[in-house]
Amino acid sequence: MSPLLLLLACSGPTPPAGVEDAFKDNGFRIVEHHPAVVDGQPVQITTVTRDPVDPATLDAACGGGDLIACHQRGEALLGQGRYAEMEQAWLALCEKGHKPACGDLAYQYANPFIQVPGRETHGLEVTTRACELHAQPISCALLASVYEKGAFGVQPDAVRAETLTRQACADQHYASCQKLGLPFTP
């Protein structure tokens, strides 16, 4: 398995205070910073990475109540294709109101390229919870899609889907704002 590599663009010449610490607290390491210009505005591009983790190395911390370790364990299980175990790890966290786990599990339920065993059983519940918690900007957009298509056994409901798309736009989901023809205001 190869390491995860992320690029973060921050407005202004330097990353906001606390960004590096937040990444480090979640097991990432900073690879490099470099300035760039986007739409005529200076931005700082930060490249971060996290090397693959053996989920077993997180068991003790997770068992001790470290929610970040439990979430990272789920990520490691996902990276290994152990979807049933990932689902159980994130489902337990989501039930406790852990936003990242709810958002990530909702996203995986919507992902047609992996087979998450409880998709039909838990998909609506988790995706609804992720939206209610404003777990990620995409969370309400995923729930809107459920109501547009009638997924997870619900009847299609265009009015509910539009309301959820508006919420996703308010949560700063760019594609939802575009879909509604509304300006995106980060």
Do 77 and 144 lie in one domain? The reply is no
Q: What is the pLDDT of residues 53-92, one digit of tens each?
A: 889 989 999 999 999 999 999 999 988 889 999 999 999 9
Do 96 and 69 lie in one domain? The reply is yes
Mean pLDDT of the chain: 85
Do 147 and 128 lie in one domain? The reply is no
**Which residue range(s) make up the domain with 32?**
4-50
Q: What is the pLDDT of residues 141-156, one digit of tens each?
A: 999 999 999 999 999 9
Q: What's the pLDDT at 114?
A: 86
Do 45 and 59 lie in one domain? The reply is no
Do 57 and 83 lie in one domain? The reply is yes
Q: What's the pLDDT at 69?
A: 92
The pTM for the full model equals 0.73
Do 127 and 142 lie in one domain? The reply is no
Do 94 and 149 lie in one domain? The reply is no
Do 62 and 126 lie in one domain? The reply is yes
Do 14 and 32 lie in one domain? The reply is yes
- Residues 66, 19: Cα–Cα separation, whole Å: 21
Number of domains, the chain: 3
